[in-house]
Amino acid sequence: MAAERDHRPPAVVDAPDLTDPAARLQLFKTLGDNTRYAIYLELARSARPLTTAEIADLIELHPNTVRPHLERMRDVGLVSVEVAGRGDVGRPQHRYSLSDAAPSLGLEPPVLPVLARMVLSMAERLGAGPTDAFAVGEDEGHARSVAFRSAPSSLEAVVSDLDRLGFDPVVHGDPDDDELAVVAFANCPFGDLAERHPDLVCSLHHGLIAGFLAELGDTDVREFCSVAARTPCQVSLVGAP
């Protein structure tokens, strides 16, 4: 029955009024459960919404155990749910994230988005352009690739790293075909920063992937489609000559 409930359209839950002592009490009672607190931590740390299966894997519990906790957290307004169409056998897949009404509890690093905005504004003031951003991203990509030198392939390595960073990569084409693979980004953890500073942010991302692959040596970037191109954000890869 729990599995069936997970495939129902999620109920619309009004955001709790946290000025109401009763609402605050329910919220903190919900977080008083060890499993729900563990779920909260994983959602707070994640750069993208997570599925029930992903949350279950992170906290080492069965998805059927996690589902009722997620429903309870949704009921009190701690989490939000979005429905995607990539579940098993065509069923919609639910992805969870912390709601806007969820308390920070001091767990998230709110200073980081502020710092990112200031750094980008400073870069523009100093006249930095896409070439500079690409070079910075390339250096970071070189450094990040070190942990993946024993990976079965560069494609698997870069997809794994992009997933860690929160881009929710989706590979199109045959992963064993060295001629061409397209990696689309279902999520952009840079969010509104990419919309406001596409030349800098997308060039950073492009350089990150190019530097990562150049260090591993068997795959090259053929084409990088950014948010500025108004096409799906994705990168086309080919085997290095």
Contact 2, 52 (CB under 8 A): no
pLDDT in tens, 153-169: 899 999 989 988 888 88
Give the residue range(s) of CATH 1.10.10.10 domains in the chain.
21-98
Specify the pLDDT at position 96: 92
Alpha carbon distance 35, 64 (integer Å):
13
Phi and psi at residue 179, in whole multiples of 5°? -75, -45
Alpha carbon distance 206, 196 (integer Å):
17
Q: H/E element holding 207?
A: helix 198-216
Specify the pLDDT at position 11: 43
Give the residue range(s) of CATH 3.30.1380.20 domains in the chain.
130-239
Pick the CATH number of 21-98 from 1.20.140.10, 2.60.40.1220, 1.10.10.60, 1.10.10.10: 1.10.10.10
pLDDT in tens, 95-144: 998 887 676 665 555 566 777 888 999 999 999 999 999 999 999 999 99
Q: What is the CATH number of domain 130-239?
A: 3.30.1380.20
Q: Which residues of the chain have pLDDT under 70?
A: 1-21, 23-24, 85-91, 101, 103-112, 174-179, 228-231
Sort residue 173 into left (φ over 0), alpha (ψ -120 to 50) or beta.
left
Specify the pLDDT at position 108: 52
Specify the pLDDT at position 176: 53
> By three-state DSSP, how is residue 98 classified?
strand
